[in-house]
Structure 1
Amino acid sequence: MTDNKKLEAYIPYRRSDIIELCLKDGKLSREDTQTFKEFCQILSAFYHFRFHKTLEIIKENYAVFNPNTDVEPLEEPNLDQYNQMQSKVVEAFNHILERANYVRLSKSIVDKALGQKSLINLQTHVDFNDFDQFLCYYRGDTTTTTKIKKLFFWEEEKTIEMFERVVLLIKFKGKGYFRRKESNSKALDELKFTPGKMYAYFYKNIPKFDIDLLFPNIKTSMTWKDRLLFGVPAVGAAIPLILRTLPNILLLIAAILLVFNARDLIQTLNVEQDQLQDIMPVLVATLSLAIALGGFAFKQYNNYKSKKIQFQKDVTDTLFFKNLANNDSVFQRLIDIAEEEECKEIILVYYHLLTSPNPLNPEQLDAKIENWMQEKLGIGINFDINGPLNNMQEIRGKIEDNANEPEVPLLSYNQQGYCHVIPLKQARIVIDWVWDNAFQYNGKAL
């Protein structure tokens, strides 16, 4: 069960659902209903084109960092080009996550996760010095109640802080750094990532204090509790073994002392001289001791390996079914989300300004939209009013296709600071003009 969701700017409904909700509100005439649909359709097409340009920038610059790429560049970029390409990818990444209404996760939260556990009881270590770049965003800071198996049939109910979505971008340092860090070349070959590459991950429903498990350079080990549970039985099993093999151990020690002619010390061990003169008991004692201790060591090693495999399985089960996308596919998913969010925000702002009987300033408009969403859908959101207002001011076009006709924005402010939008038919024309003039060659719109 998930509850106690903190208010965020993300709108958890499809763009088509928001449009339909506005139409069912009953404040538009039949003629305006059709015009509003057309306005939303052109607006969506415009933003799809706009974000497609961002995606092309990412594809062009991410190719050299993509660990899964199957194409080769005609020319390798030089150092300056390499750094510029990295900056463009990071800038675009931040841009689309902010437009998608995701929240930047501070490194302090990640550091805190390294010291606490939610569902998987592991000791973890992440070396942040391995990273050239590290960015993390989340959406949906919630709490959920789950049952955790403790002993046999006993289950404990536990409340866990959860992120509904987590996006991670990591750029690893180059091979030179890891050659200096790792003690041998074999360790470099065993890395679970490629030095110098940029990794992107998109996950769902990740416990806040298990977020450290998302890092590809994570190192896991048993907690002190697991070490005690593993070590105490091992010590308990070793004591009877030592007691059973003690005569053989004493005989072996006495044989070694005989080689060094330490007869006085041999007498203190209470080992009969006849046993030492006959080599067979010594060999049998040595073989028996080796088999007993070797078998015990092998059993304990197998127990340790089984425990380690169980840890790895817990991590794999946690992440495998929660992975939404990796690397270049992450950017495509986020572009779709950002495009949807931008359109939903503008549609809500334009609709409420269009249908409001009274002028509204940004604060009043923000409260009106939040109350409307609560009333219509029963959800609380912290609507981002500044983003859509700025976007609507930037969308400028002509109402009349005349060279002398000035361009007008979708939204403007009067002297009292109240928001004003142009009428619906004119808004549709402006968006259509912007769409038609997206490309211009030889002065002609395409």
Structure 2
Amino acid sequence: MSAAERWIPFRLRDLVDILATESSEPERFRELHRIVAAVVHHEYRQELERLKDAYAPFNPDADHRVIRTWSDDERTECQRVLVAALTDLVEAANYEAVGREVLGGAVEGESLLKLRLHVDLDDFDEILFFRRGLSRRTEEVSHLFGLRHKPVEFTNCARILIYLKFRDAEHFEAAGRRDLPFEPGSTIIKLFQDVPRADLEMLLPNTEVRMRTTDKLVIGVPALLSGLVVLVTKVASSLGLLVLLVLFWVGVRDDEVDIGQTQLAAIALGLGSLLAFGWRQWTKFKNRRIQFMKTLSENLYFRNLDNDVGVFHHLLDAAAEEEIKEILLALHFLTDGPETADGLDERIEAWSAEHLDCVFDFDVRDALDKLGDLGLIEVRDDEHHAVSLDEARRRLDQRWDAYFAAPALPR
């Protein structure tokens, strides 16, 4: 995993078990984890409703009756809120934005699937990519037409989130493009797993599979040789008769061409052989293209995790878990004594490297902001002091009760 990533690559339950065994009050720490988790998940539930409301005008999988319509201004505002809320959520889940230059490099580079993929990025009005969990992997890739295999090392992304908004129909009509496999103006949200960074373009819905130079040679060279054999053995004599006949008709040749049933049969046989040869080559080309499409479809099938509204639920759970892990890590180390932000950051990262054999970029500022919002730390002279575990639980109990307290009635 990249050292620059903020993602904490451990299950929450496993991390809690490790921290609890190191705590001087393990049972109280586990109880604190339960109420922290309840508070964080409850607060993220409000974000889920906000996302669902913003996505409602664009949701292609809605199974409920629509009792209202949205104006163009309302749709524009919903799109703005959707992008802002989705970006906040993926950042909370410790995803990193994929720059346009990285995506462009994937489009221009060679696919690990040995496919030539073509993508027109101008089809999109807006495109956002986010990734999490970079790692270096090695796989055996066949070459020399499958006769040999060689190891190929590449950068893999554990999770990829894409948000796309296609351009309106006018854009595609102006380009003369019809029978599109997508709906112009539509919005797409998808989540994928285990995607090589060099193959990011295969996740786009307008990806087209095209022939590589190698594939053209594999089909073209045998076709050329076979075509020459067909021309020499079956078509040459027929073409000779046809050429003489045409020359007589246009007045270039004076001698009349005598064509009987035998000659007509030879011409028919030659033309039939030529048409059959052309049909066989076209079928080979189509079959190879279908094989490429099958390879692409199989890879997408096993990499797809979620779509549309389902992505919100997936991301919300990931964001809540990351926040809980950050809170508990920071609180655990602050219970040993006050620390500055930089000191706490160094302690947690050093502990992770030593005890977990893992290096990540702990987002200490975010963790301290969350602890401050929950009222679990106090700041004095640039040092952060944690309240006791009993006091932390009491304050969180009060916060939880306040969620469901009935508002005071006006007098």
With normalisation by structure 1, the TM-score equals: 0.87
2:221 is aligned with 1:253: no
2:199 match: 210
SS of aligned partner of 2:322: helix
Deviation by residue 1:54-109 (Cα, 9 ceiling, x = unmatched): 11111112122122222242121001100111111111111111001111000111
Task: From the superposition, tell whether residues 8 and 145 of structure 1 become closer, same or farther in structure 2 (CA, over 3 Å).
Answer: same
2:36 is aligned with 1:43: yes
Stretches of structure 1 lacking an aligned partner (at least 5 in a row): 267-272, 396-408
1:362 match: 341
SS of aligned partner of 1:250: helix
CA distance in 2, matches of 1:155, 1:372: 41
1:178 match: 172
2:161 is aligned with 1:167: yes
SS of aligned partner of 1:379: coil
Q: CA shift at 1:333, angstroms?
A: 0.5
2:289 match: 308
Residue type of the alignment partner of 2:407 = N
SS of aligned partner of 2:6: coil
Task: From the superposition, tell whether residues 152 and 61 of structure 1 become closer, same or farther in structure 2 (CA, over 3 Å).
Answer: closer
- Are the counterparts in 2 of residues 255 and 282 from structure 1 also a CA contact under 8 Å? no
- Are the counterparts in 2 of residues 134 and 169 from structure 1 also a CA contact under 8 Å? yes
Mean Cα displacement is larger for which, 33-42 or 360-369?
A: 33-42
CA distance in 2, matches of 1:6, 1:126: 31
2:390 match: 425
1:270 match: none
Q: CA shift at 1:7, angstroms?
A: 4.2
- Are the counterparts in 1 of residues 106 and 198 from structure 2 also a CA contact under 8 Å? yes
Aligned partner (choices 82, 107, 117) of residue 124 of structure 1 = 117
- Are the counterparts in 2 of residues 67 and 194 from structure 1 also a CA contact under 8 Å? no
Aligned partner (choices 62, 65, 83) of residue 69 of structure 1 = 62
RMSD: 1.8
2:24 match: 28
SS of aligned partner of 1:430: helix
CA distance in 2, matches of 1:257, 1:206: 62
Deviation by residue 1:20-51 (Cα, 9 ceiling, x = unmatched): 211101x414xxx3332222211111111111
- Are the counterparts in 2 of residues 168 and 202 from structure 1 also a CA contact under 8 Å? yes
CA distance in 1, matches of 2:66, 2:385: 50
Q: CA shift at 1:420, angstroms?
A: 1.7
Aligned partner (choices 8, 11, 19) of residue 11 of structure 1 = 8
1:157 match: 151
CA distance in 2, matches of 1:53, 1:208: 33
2:302 is aligned with 1:336: no
Aligned partner (choices 404, 407, 410) of residue 442 of structure 1 = 407
Aligned partner (choices 405, 411, 419) of residue 377 of structure 2 = 411
CA distance in 2, matches of 1:376, 1:386: 23
Q: CA shift at 1:141, angstroms?
A: 1.6
CA distance in 1, matches of 2:147, 2:116: 25
Q: CA shift at 1:317, angstroms?
A: 1.9
SS of aligned partner of 1:182: coil
With normalisation by structure 2, the TM-score equals: 0.94
1:221 match: 210
CA distance in 1, matches of 2:99, 2:287: 36
Residue type of the alignment partner of 1:367 = E
CA distance in 2, matches of 1:307, 1:5: 38
1:143 match: 136
Structure (1 or 2) with the larger CA radius of gyration: 1
SS of aligned partner of 1:142: strand
- Are the counterparts in 2 of residues 65 and 196 from structure 1 also a CA contact under 8 Å? no
- Are the counterparts in 1 of residues 20 and 27 from structure 2 also a CA contact under 8 Å? no
Mean Cα displacement is larger for which, 171-180 or 250-259?
A: 171-180
- Are the counterparts in 2 of residues 10 and 100 from structure 1 also a CA contact under 8 Å? yes
Q: CA shift at 1:206, angstroms?
A: 0.8
CA distance in 2, matches of 1:223, 1:278: 46
SS of aligned partner of 1:55: helix
Aligned partner (choices 322, 341, 346) of residue 327 of structure 2 = 346
Residue type of the alignment partner of 1:260 = V
Stretches of structure 2 lacking an aligned partner (at least 5 in a row): none
